[in-house]
Amino acid sequence: MRIDSHHHFWNYSAEAYDWIGSDMGILKRDFTPGDLALATEEFGINGVISVQARTDEAENAFLLEYAEAHEIVRGVVGWLDLTDPGVPDKIARFAENPKSVGIREVLQGLDDREYCLRDDFNRGVSVLHDFGLAYDILIFGDQLPAAAQFVDRHPAQTFILDHIAKPVIGPAGVDLTWERDIRALASREQVFCKLSGMVTEVIPALEDWTPDLLRPWFDVVLDAFGPDRLMFGSDWPVCLLRGEYADWVQCVDFWIQDLTADEKSALLGGTAARAYGLSQEAE
C-alpha cells in the first residue's frame, strides 16, 4: 500500500495563486486528478491527501468536490482562518464531510514568526480535536522552537509537520540548529512528519540533486520520528520545479530499502492512514 500524504490540485490563475513566482513557469497551469493519475499510475499509489494551496475558504469546497468524485483522494487538508471568532462553526461544517481530515495555515509566509503562539489562533486550533481533524504545521526551520511550544498547548491534538520544516539543503550538510530543533519537536509523541518537499529546498546553485545529497536530512528525521511517525509525500506538482514524481518515489525507495517490511509499510502508507484517521479500507 502507498499513500501520498501531500499533493495539490489547482485551477491556475495568477491572482489566486500569487505565490507561484515568475521563475515557476512549470506550475502556471491547471493540475487536475487526470494529471495526478498520469504521474502516479506506475507506482501503485492507493490514496492521496489533497492539501490546500491558497488561503481561501473556497479552496475547501474545490478540493472536497474532487475528493467526492475521485476515490483515490482519501482526505483533504483545508484552510480556515483559525483566528476568526466564528471559526468553531466553520470547522464543524468542514468536518461534516468524511473526507475532511485536517486544517493548515501557511505559517511559513507570515511576518510574525511566532504567529502559532497567538491566543486567538490557539483558540481555533483547540476545536480541531473535537472533530477528529489533524493540524498540518507548515513552517521553516527558524519557526521550530515556537512550533514546539505551540504543540505543547494541545497535548491531545494530532500534528503533522510538512516538508521536514523546509531546511536549506546543500553541500554544507545538515544545519545543527535545524537538527536540534526538529529532534525537540519529534520528542512530542503527537507530532508526525511528512517526508516531502525536500527537493525544492536544495539550494538554487545546485542544478541537480541526488539521493546521496539529501540522505543526511532523511537520516535525521527517520531517527527522530521513526517509521511509525514518518510518512511519504510527493508535494506534487510543486516538486516538478526540481524533478519528476518518479524521481522522488525512486529516491525514497532507495533510502528505505534496508528497512523491515513493517517499517516500509508504515512510512509508505500506514503512518498517513493512522495520523489522518483514514478508513480501514485505505489501510
- Give, as one character, the DSSP assignment of residue 10: B
Torsion of CA 162, 168, 174, 178, to 10 degrees: -50
Which residues have C-beta within 8 Å of that of residue 187, sequence separation ≥ 6? Answer: none
Cell numbers for 249: 518515489
- State how far the Cα of 198 lies from the Cα of 169, in Å rounded to an integer: 8
Nearest to 147 by CA among 170, 168, 125, 176: 125
The helix/strand/coil state of 49 is: strand
Largest CA distance in the chain: 49
- Give the end-to-end CA distance of the chain in Å, rounded to a whole number: 7
Q: Is the dihedral of CA 202, 203, 207, 211 positive or negative?
A: negative
Tens of each residue's pLDDT in the chain, 283 residues:
899 999 999 999 999 999 999 999 999 999 999 999 999 999 999 999 999 999 999 999 999 999 999 999 999 999 999 999 999 999 999 999 999 999 999 999 999 999 999 999 999 999 999 999 999 999 999 999 999 999 999 999 999 999 999 999 999 999 999 999 999 999 999 999 999 999 999 999 998 999 999 999 999 999 999 999 999 999 999 999 999 999 999 999 999 999 999 999 999 999 999 999 997 554 4
User: Burial letters for 29-54: b for 16+ Cβ neighbours within 10 Å, e otherwise?
Assistant: eebebeebeebbeebebbbbbbbbbb
Residue 60's pLDDT is what? 98
Cell numbers for 163: 516538508
Residue 9 phi, psi dihedral angles, 5° rounding = -120, 150
Alpha-helix runs per DSSP H in 131-175: 144-152
Residue 4's pLDDT is what? 98
Cell numbers for 276: 489522518
- Give, as one character, the DSSP assignment of residue 31: B
Q: Is the dihedral of CA 71, 77, 79, 81 positive or negative?
A: positive
Domains of the chain by range and CATH?
Answer: 2-282 (3.20.20.140)
Residue 283's pLDDT is what? 43
- State how far the Cα of 105 lies from the Cα of 55, in Å rounded to an integer: 8
